[in-house]
């Protein structure tokens, strides 16, 4: 299994995070906007993903971010969908949405941003936020991606998977939940 983190298409990063999640016996759910399912699909591509991936929500239309993920509708009305707090609430919301038998997913990963070709909600093309949430908090990263619509979406998916990989590497220093 590949462990490199420099893959252009994110495949190696996806394999790395599935390996790390499996080793840690932790689960993940994904909330996607501009990436439209590409982050989740990259994880599903890895054999063994079913042990760690619960699923996710593609909240492409802005109102679904509120109705399916619990993002504050007033926040969306005031700032639009491309905002760090929207990314945070998407990541926190999908953890809860993917609850099974009372247990939320251990991690929630989210993407929101502008793939273009036009600016959105006053945000420029290429401005992207990715977020990783767990029970203890949430980290949001701002990304400035360039290129066409497809390139921006691929860069966003890669940035989200890299944020998750870094979090998992940091969390490996925690005591393992079991052997």
Interface residue with a copy of itself, options 4, 9, 25, 67 (CB under 8 A): 67
Interface residue with a copy of itself, options 13, 15, 34, 152 (CB under 8 A): 34
Cα separation values, 145 from 128, 148, 155, Å: 7, 9, 6
Interface residue with a copy of itself, options 15, 58, 127, 138 (CB under 8 A): 58
Starting at the edge strand found earlier in the chain, the sheet holding 28-32 runs 28-32, 107-113, 127-134, 137-144
Q: 1, 12 in Cβ contact below 8 A?
A: no
Burial of 64 (0-12, 13-18, 19+ CB in 10 A): middle
81 touches a copy of itself (CB under 8 A): no
Name the token pair of 127. Answer: 């401005």
Determine the interface stretch with a copy of itself among 18-26, 98-106, 139-147, 158-166 (rule: CB under 8 A): 98-106
19 touches a copy of itself (CB under 8 A): no
Query: What span, in angstroms and rounded, lies between the C-alpha atoms of 74 and 179?
Result: 45
Determine the interface stretch with a copy of itself among 60-68, 72-80, 83-91, 122-130 (rule: CB under 8 A): 60-68
Interface contacts to a copy of itself, rule CB under 8 A = 30, 32, 34-41, 43-45, 47, 49-50, 53-61, 63-64, 67-68, 97-101, 117, 149-150, 153
């Amino acid at each position: 299994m590949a462990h490199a983190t420099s893959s252009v298409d994110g495949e190696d990063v996806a394999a790395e995070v599935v390996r790390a999640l499996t080793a840690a016996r932790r689960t993940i759910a994904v909330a996607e906007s501009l990436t439209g399912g590409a982050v989740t699909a990259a994880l599903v591509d890895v054999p063994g993903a079913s042990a760690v991936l619960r699923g996710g929500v593609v909240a492409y239309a802005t109102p679904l971010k509120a109705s399916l993920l619990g993002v504050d509708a007033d926040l969306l009305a005031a700032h639009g969908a491309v905002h760090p707090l929207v990314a945070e609430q998407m990541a926190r919301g999908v953890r809860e949405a993917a609850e099974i038998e009372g247990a939320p997913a251990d991690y929630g990963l989210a993407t929101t941003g502008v793939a273009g070709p036009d600016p959105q909600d006053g945000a420029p093309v290429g401005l992207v936020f990715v977020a990783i949430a767990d029970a203890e908090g949430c980290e949001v990263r701002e990304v400035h991606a360039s290129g066409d619509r497809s390139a921006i979406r691929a860069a966003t998916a890669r940035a989200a998977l890299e944020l998750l990989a870094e979090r998992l590497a940091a969390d490996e220093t925690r005591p393992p939940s079991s052997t």
